[in-house]
Amino acid sequence: MALDGVPAILIDPKGDLGNLLLTFPELRGEDFRPWINEEDALRKGMEPDADATRQAEFWKDGLAAWGEGPERIRMLRDKVEMAIYTPGSSSGIPVNIMAS
């Protein structure tokens, strides 16, 4: 719907929709690298860069299975304005929903 220009305000109490901002059209390991937990990678016996490449391939294959490719991800990033507003936090754009 976003690609068709349908405006939306999404309320996300669990916080998982923020992952939509983590869209990397090229699906390269270096795009995923900042989000790799180094300790987790090392526990798996992998260097963090290798784990990032593995994650990129995992996502590339998963999206391809759904008919989604880099072109569609790029179109989403180019066409859709995304922002995260966070009441009581500086993790996104802060919002005060309570009057003082």
pLDDT at site 3: 85
Query: How much is the average pLDDT of 10-19?
Result: 82
Task: Please state whether the predicted TM-score (pTM) of the whole model is above 0.75.
Answer: no
Inside any domain, residue 100 = no
- Residue 78, pLDDT above cutoff 70: yes
The token pair that represents 52 in the structure block: 């990032």
Give the pLDDT band (50/70/90) at residue 22: confident
Task: Check residues 29 and 93 and name the one with the higher pLDDT.
Answer: 29
Residue 60 lies in a domain: yes
Structural domain of 37? 2-95
pLDDT score, position 100? 59
Query: How many folded domains does the chain comprise?
Result: 1
